[in-house]
Amino acid sequence: MARVLKEVRVGRGSIAVVVGDLTEERTDAIVNAANTALAHGGGVAGAIVRKGGPAIQAESNAKAPVPVGGAVATGAGRLPCRYVIHAVGPVWGEGEEETKLRRAVESALATADQLGLTSVAIPGISTGIFGYPKADGCSVIVQETARHLSAPKGSVTDVRLVSIDDETASHFLAAAEHLC
């Protein structure tokens, strides 16, 4: 069962910090922390395909490759959401990581807007196996989400920052408290 740690009103919507399983989120879309090949073998991506089914990987194969900072949507298979938005964040050490992470978050949210979605769940993109320092990465994700929700137009109004682990959630929480 997901546990909401904090919810903050921002612009036209809200950001909630959640400890829970991303694959169980009942939002319009969940965001997958993807690699450029959209090969969903490990981490969040692997969990999404294991629970959602092989159709997600098959559709991803047809849309790959995706550049770092880009995002594409696929169906959600057996997941309780309608779409999976695959956002490609940077690998720590490749250069310009903050700019690339900001672009990945914005690309994911812009994709949701293009689909007319209102609710999106986002994990700690790049803060797992891609090695982006958790505190910094979570701060960037919160800032970029707040910036997107503060824009005058867009369909997305409800963003849930979801982490299975308390450590990442605590970094999302610290960043969200700076928005108050």
Predicted local distance difference test score (pLDDT) of residue 42: 87
Q: What whole-number distance in Å separates Cα of residue 169 and Cα of residue 177?
A: 12
Alpha helices in 9-133 (DSSP H): 43-52, 54-63, 97-114
Predicted local distance difference test score (pLDDT) of residue 127: 97
Looking at the DSSP bridge assignments, the partners of residue 163 are: 19
Residues 23 and 52 sit within 8 Å (Cβ to Cβ): yes
Tell me the whole-structure pTM to 2 decimals: 0.97
63-67: Cβ within 8 A, 24+ apart: 63/38, 64/36, 64/37, 64/38, 64/39, 65/36, 65/37, 65/38, 66/34, 66/36, 66/38, 67/36
90-99: Cβ within 8 A, 24+ apart: 90/126, 90/130, 90/132, 91/126, 91/130, 91/131, 92/126, 92/130, 92/131, 92/132, 92/133, 93/131, 94/68, 97/126, 97/132, 98/136, 98/140, 99/69
65 preceded by a cis bond (ω within 30 of 0) = yes
Predicted local distance difference test score (pLDDT) of residue 101: 98
Q: Domains in the chain and their CATH numbers? A: 3-177 (3.40.220.10)
Predicted local distance difference test score (pLDDT) of residue 43: 86
pLDDT digit of tens for each residue in the chain (180 aa)? Answer: 899 999 999 999 999 999 999 999 999 999 999 999 999 998 889 999 999 999 999 999 999 999 999 999 999 999 999 999 999 999 999 999 999 999 999 999 999 999 999 999 999 999 999 999 999 999 999 999 999 999 999 999 999 999 999 999 999 999 999 997
